[in-house]
């Protein structure tokens, strides 16, 4: 097992995101609190486990995460909510910050650019 020198932010949609997603296409797939996509996990800079201040950590990354979460469901930016500030982000998503990321797979960690 190896300690990965990153922290993780997990993101799960709340009801306002679900309402927005379901209003986009009346014939499209439906999302409910009982049937959500899996949480997204974002690796961010390493933090000391005794310094986990969720708000200050998430504020550094929320714009990029918000954009990715919107784009993952719907690519037409003109249909995205106009207000995408930190308060809205926190209303739309359940957030957890994890200071310890462990890799139990023995293989090499590969990465590549990703855009939803």
Kindly tell me if the per-residue pLDDT of 47 is higher than 90.
Answer: no
Predicted pLDDT of residue 44: 94
The chain-wide mean pLDDT, for the chain, equals 89
Predicted confidence band at 41 (pLDDT cuts at 50, 70, 90)? very high
Beta bridge partners of 12: 94
Kindly tell me if the per-residue pLDDT of 48 is higher than 70.
Answer: yes
Q: Mean pLDDT across the stretch 55-70?
A: 95
70: which residues sit within 8 A by CB, 6+ positions away?
77, 80, 81, 84
Predicted pLDDT of residue 116: 65
Kindly tell me if the per-residue pLDDT of 43 is higher than 80.
Answer: yes
Beta bridge partners of 96: 10
Kindly tell me if the per-residue pLDDT of 94 is higher than 80.
Answer: yes
From edge to edge, which strands make up the β-sheet containing 6-13?
Answer: 40-45, 6-13, 93-98
For residues 71 and 20, is the Cβ–Cβ distance under 8 A? no
């Amino acid at each position: 097992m190896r300690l990965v020198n990153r922290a993780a932010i997990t993101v799960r949609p709340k009801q306002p995101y679900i309402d927005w997603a379901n209003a986009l296409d009346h014939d499209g797939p439906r999302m409910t609190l009982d049937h959500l996509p899996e949480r997204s996990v974002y690796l961010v800079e390493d933090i000391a486990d005794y310094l986990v201040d969720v708000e200050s950590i998430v504020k550094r990354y929320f714009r990029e995460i918000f954009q990715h979460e919107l784009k993952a469901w719907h690519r037409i930016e003109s249909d995205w909510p106009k207000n995408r500030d930190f308060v809205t982000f926190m209303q739309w998503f359940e957030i957890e910050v994890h200071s310890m990321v462990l890799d139990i797979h023995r293989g090499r960690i590969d990465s590549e650019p990703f855009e939803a």
